[in-house]
Amino acid sequence: MDREVKLNFKDRKFAKYIKIVLIAVLVIIEIIICAQHVGKRGGVPFIIAIIVCCLLLDLFEALNCFVIKKYAAKIVFYALDAVLLLAICLLTGNSYLSTLYCLVLTQFYLTFDDGKINTILFIVSCGLFVISFVGGWVVVNKGASLYESVVQISGSCVFGVFILGMHFAVVSFLLKFYNNNLKLSLALKEADESKARLEAAYEKISETAVYEERNRIAKDIHDNAGHSMTTVIMQTEAAKLLIDSDPKEAKNRIISANIQAKNALEQMRESVHLLAGRAQIQTLRAEFEEIIAQTIDGTELKIRCDLEDLQADEEERRFLCNTLKECLANGIRHGKATTFYIELKNVLSCISLLISDNGCGVAGEVCEGFGLKGIREKTEKLGGRCYFSSEDGEGFEVNITIPYQKNKE
């Protein structure tokens, strides 16, 4: 419950200055009281008694402000202060009694800074003030009439309690205002610290996202371009072996290798653009048309297409373009296809891609190799469906449906 441990350095320093000012004002008031009674009744012993009471009051206040830390001890010292105030009142006849009470109470209000405790302290102090005032009046004004005594005591007590009440209200308001301001400052400081931590975390997340994107691009280069270049090497090696015995087949192998090399080059360019931070500006339809044009360039392939101008995010666009390249390469290399039909449409708020060829087809169940398996897994990851269908001598067909990314969100 010790409030001192809850205050930071600046708070303690501020409270220290306030307490020093209070003690200084208390000393000034005491000097005025002593000066008023020099040469009056009682002579030197009377003045010495007042000075001793004032010095003891100053000493107890200083100990309470700067030495005593426990609340129980502070209450004991407050009781001693009340006794000294009563003694000063009896000696001086209530001179500045309400002011002295206000100065002493201010220090205690600052120390406890608790609404309930301060209210109890105020009520007790009002009772002690009334007792002190009545005692001082009776001692100093022994010859006064009963009527005069009642009127003077009643009026002065009401006025003194009013002063103590105003003092209590003002100090309580200032303490509440100061505490609220302190809480607000602390909240603003915590908000600034939280903002700084969030900015640091966001920067770290951004850096992580950049690293992840670079790793993804590197994986794309390895998986797509690397796979394509491996196929090119295999096709050209096969063409070298067949160029004398089967020139037609060797030509087909070279054509297939040429397509794969173009695809690999395009993938490399795309990855370099992404690494350089250049945004994709082509539409999905334009990219499909460019891939088709590169595929049929210098060949006798025929490709019919029905392409709608669809919007797709980066991940969907990259997947669909890679799928088209993979299916064209597989149809030429494995199916010996010469004609393709490509359809890209919006079907029930989903992207639908159909790729079919007139190749040799597959007898029985379609066996998914590395390329087809990758297409199926990526389709399912995007929340879509993928179908492969083929019959012996009837070509091969790939049907993919994926929802738009905005629909999934």
Dihedral sign from CA coordinates of 289, 290, 293, 294: negative
More confident residue, 235 or 327: 327
DSSP string of 139-182? HH-TTS-HHHHHHHHHHHHHHHHHHHHHHHHHHHHHHHHHHHHH
> With 60 as the cut, is the pLDDT of residue 10 above it?
no
* Residue among 363, 374, 378, 372 at smallest CA distance from 398: 372
DSSP string of 107-119? HHHHHH--HHHHH
Sheet with strand 302-307: strands edge to edge: 302-307, 339-347, 350-357, 396-403, 385-390
Within a 13 Å sphere around the CA of 88, how many CA atoms are in the beta-carbon half?
Answer: 29
> With 50 as the cut, is the pLDDT of residue 213 above it?
yes
Within a 13 Å sphere around the CA of 49, how many CA atoms are in the beta-carbon half?
Answer: 15
Dihedral sign from CA coordinates of 25, 27, 33, 36: negative
pLDDT at 220: 67
Within a 13 Å sphere around the CA of 247, how many CA atoms are in the beta-carbon half?
Answer: 1
User: What single-letter amino acid sits at 158?
Assistant: V
pLDDT at 343: 94
pLDDT at 37: 74
Residues in the chain: 409
pLDDT at 73: 81
Kindly give the pairing relationship between strand 339-347 and strand 302-307.
Answer: parallel
Distance of CA 198 to the CA centre of its chain: 5
What sections of 40-145 are H helices per DSSP? 43-66, 71-92, 97-112, 115-140
Q: Give the Å distances, CA to CA, from 256 to 91, 143, 333.
A: 119, 131, 6
φ/ψ (deg, to 5) at 298? 75, 15
- Letter string b/e over residues 198-217, b meaning 16 or more CB atoms within 10 A of that residue's CB: eeeeeeeeeeeeeeeeeeeb
State the Cα–Cα distance between residues 167 and 161, nearest whole angstrom. Answer: 10
State the Cα–Cα distance between residues 245 and 188, nearest whole angstrom. Answer: 84
State the Cα–Cα distance between residues 394 and 162, nearest whole angstrom. Answer: 107
Indicate the range of 43-52, 225-234, 285-294, 353-362 predicted with least confidence. Answer: 225-234
How much is the average pLDDT of 143-171?
Answer: 81
Is residue 53 a contact partner of residue 84, using CB atoms and an 8 Å limit? Answer: yes
36 CB contacts (<8 Å, ≥6 apart)? 92, 95
How buried is 30 (Cβ within 10 angstroms: 0-12 exposed, 13-18 middle, 19+ buried)?
buried
Tokens coding 60? 């107890």
pLDDT at 409: 47
How much is the average pLDDT of 290-305?
Answer: 81
What does the DSSP 8-state code read for residue 225? Answer: I
Distance of CA 282 to the CA centre of its chain: 38
More confident residue, 144 or 391: 391
**Structure pTM?**
0.41
More confident residue, 181 or 40: 181
> With 50 as the cut, is the pLDDT of residue 365 above it?
yes
- Per residue in 90-143, pLDDT (tens digit) is 777 776 777 788 888 887 777 777 778 888 888 888 888 888 888 877 777 776
Dihedral sign from CA coordinates of 80, 84, 89, 94: negative
State the Cα–Cα distance between residues 98 and 109, nearest whole angstrom. Answer: 16
> With 80 as the cut, is the pLDDT of residue 12 above it?
no
> With 60 as the cut, is the pLDDT of residue 406 above it?
no
Strand partners, 399: 354, 387
For residue 41, the SS3 value is coil
pLDDT at 40: 65
What does the DSSP 8-state code read for residue 3? Answer: G
Is residue 349 a contact partner of residue 404, using CB atoms and an 8 Å limit? Answer: yes
